[in-house]
Structure 1
């Protein structure tokens, strides 16, 4: 009988049970159990051959058979006619049917230690779990991985099916995101509308993160694939991968969902800026502490084009609409002018289209392209943002410039609203400034951080929502 036979796994529990409850005189320990085809014979340990107990003899009545089956479920073992199976295991057996009912109440506690068979594959997966919360840790982690790119944040749902509204100006603090241990160089919302609640941040603490910037404000993923400061980062157009450049001389394409490195390329110089080529998502540009700008093809992990200039480092890269040309910002400044501060390149021929775009004696730490018009702005260390045409010959608009913020050597970035009517910029004073693009006047400014505000990124879907970051590693969401 199954309830009357204890397996090896429950041996220790049987001993503790006998010591705690005390084994009654009517209960004996059986050393051998013999199963026959017609009846079961139980041999007592240390007893003579005449003292035997028949569990279900052939002369049992139907009522006695029913009582025995209720007190202990039978063990179904396949046995041929005349075949005898002997188990050398201890068990607890009552001497009469009247004591079987009382003993059956205590048998579940004894047999609770009997463990089912676990396949080897499942045992190996269990060993990798968290010892404190084994199932919750693995299952919860897999759930979060599958929900990063599948779930739509509730605050976004009312705006996904509607036409883009006019951009607004954020005025109130919605949440503060803390976790970076160094300056946050850039923050960027995911360009895919239904995933635009995801916020990317790159920091000098050698990490970059993806946050839920629309609802919970928690960090969804931490990526540590760089051994140096992460200077620049951006989303791929599909929103499933991230492109980052670091001071460890590498540019990495990382899968957002799994955190695995799809491509890791060594540029042999510290990477300051990265940009995806718009005509081919598999090609991206890298610039930094070098006189060269390299174009990589992520499919073959090879340099496909090299752009050389007599400069020391590249501060920013901006691919123009159409993908035929791109603009680079450098630190090359002569005594009288800044002829090579902005250089226009032909992507196919690697030739310079123009290096006489900007003539003032200031470097430009960042660039931003207008989402609708053929123009772009360059953030300058002259404490203003200059406006240029994005078509040849790339002339500067001398009548319109955006003033009021300070740069003072920091890599302060600027960003356009989705409709292009508002230009936002950070400031070395910690302020966030919002300008009317058409009239170049200040619409609103507020103290966003106590330290230099390096970037202001306006949300592509939610109106009047922006993210800011500062020099001490703090990120704030404004609405």
Structure 2
């Protein structure tokens, strides 16, 4: 019967220890793969050496069929206080020191240091265990569902806070220097001399400077940038669904064209900082657009078509919108929600005007009766949405436009009766019956009117294409300027230069006069 291990019973010191190790490994390997059923007999003599002491123990057994297992061998070693040889290698002094130094060291590395890996048989190779530190790094701890949901909610709130901060930065006009690019990094040399010195008297322009004809539809409004350093920029909105920004002082070129609306743009307003444009139109959409990037900072879907817009003079985060509805809505750009509503028994709001202080505002409507106008002009409390008065104008004409005087507590209203009337901004908003500015024609057009910045002149467009200039104090017609071939829809005085105005007409043409 073949034996798994054949040891020499001789005690000669010339025995090859390495040969015995390999045989011993083979024996242990075969024993592990035999399903604990030995088909061979251990040798009659087995020698166990302890490292460095030369201790020998002889075990005698019969040569007949002997059944033994690993437990009997271990029990014998414990009984006689004998250190058994390990299954892979002999522990000499050097190797024993290495194991005591680092118990987590790779066994293969230890065997390489001891110089005993060269003659290992393939069956002796074992799968190496991973380093404990590496294994720990690859293990992901379990996080309960409740904590995961809480963490996701916190991340969402942080992202919302960051987006709100960015939005407030844009609205509050405190954008960092890297955003001051393109349109807002230039100050026109033509208006620099007028920035520090306030002009004394506005002059009526005499000659045409630029003629800009890129709009394909009627121009509904034109406005200069409210920031004096960038007042060379002119905003125009048209019913061709576009909004444009022009260099109307030096070159007369179109600098930006925004196509964010799918319907006619009825009104557009600069923000107070001059970095955004608020626009609304017949597509029932409200857009707050960044003028540099052309992207919509905020977009609102309204329930009705928009005809007029107005920013609050005390809080640029809030604006009013009116249109084909009996309700005027107040929107907050920070929460993107309606914060207040002002309801009246009307069909359409034509214009919105904030009074000095920003606590009250006026709306003009299309509500007229046979002999008098009921609710043609309505005064509102901005905070409480209470109706202050609706019996301000008692004539049977609608009012498409209103303008506030820059220095005195009065405002003017354009009527479809081909004249303008003057009202007080203080309660009960009495009409001045001694002043009536007439000489131009409206005839159903939404003709605009504006005061000069010194308050001495009042200009109005006309349905025959002319621009009429009135003396504010005595309401007399000073001069008529033949500006356009079609109806002149709007006129705007330059905020810095005393003798520059811009006009627009129903054909989409914009002209600059000086």
Any gaps of 5 or more consecutive residues in structure 2?
1-177
Q: Distance in 2 between matches of 1:440 and 1:397?
A: 11
How far has the Cα of 1:144 moved from its partner?
A: 13
1:228 aligns with 2:263: yes
1:262 aligns with 2:297: yes
Q: Distance in 2 between matches of 1:451 and 1:393?
A: 38
Q: Distance in 1 between matches of 2:188 and 2:471?
A: 30
Instruction: Give the structure with the higher percent strand.
Output: 1
Aligned to 2:249: 214
How far has the Cα of 1:145 moved from its partner?
A: 8.7
Superimposed CA distance per residue, residues 179-238 of structure 1 (whole angstroms, 9 cap, x where no aligned partner): 000000111111111110000000000001000010100000000111110001111111
2:492 to 457, 462, 473: 457
Aligned to 1:407: 442
2:408 to 337, 359, 373: 373
Aligned to 1:385: 420
* SS of match in other structure, 2:436: strand
Q: Distance in 2 between matches of 1:270 and 1:342?
A: 20
1:326 aligns with 2:361: yes
Using the size of structure 2 for normalisation, the TM-score is 0.65
* SS of match in other structure, 1:155: coil
> What is the correspondence of 1:117-266 to structure 2 with a 5 Å cutoff?
146-266=181-301
Q: Distance in 2 between matches of 1:148 and 1:431?
A: 32
Aligned to 1:363: 398
* SS of match in other structure, 1:148: helix
Contact 1:324/1:346 (CA < 8 Å) preserved in 2?
yes
Q: Distance in 1 between matches of 2:229 and 2:469?
A: 26
Contact 1:284/1:297 (CA < 8 Å) preserved in 2?
yes
CA distance 1:144–1:279, shift in 2 (3 Å)? closer
1:342 aligns with 2:377: yes
1:276 aligns with 2:315: no
**Please, what is the CA RMSD of the aligned residues?**
1.3
> What is the correspondence of 1:60-75 to structure 2 with a 5 Å cutoff?
none
Q: Distance in 1 between matches of 2:283 and 2:182?
A: 31
1:436 aligns with 2:475: no
Superimposed CA distance per residue, residues 399-454 of structure 1 (whole angstroms, 9 cap, x where no aligned partner): 00111000000000001111111111000000001111111011111110000000
Q: Distance in 2 between matches of 1:225 and 1:198?
A: 20
Q: Distance in 1 between matches of 2:387 and 2:437?
A: 28
How far has the Cα of 1:146 moved from its partner?
A: 2.3
Q: Distance in 1 between matches of 2:393 and 2:281?
A: 28
CA distance 1:213–1:144, shift in 2 (3 Å)? farther
Aligned to 1:354: 389
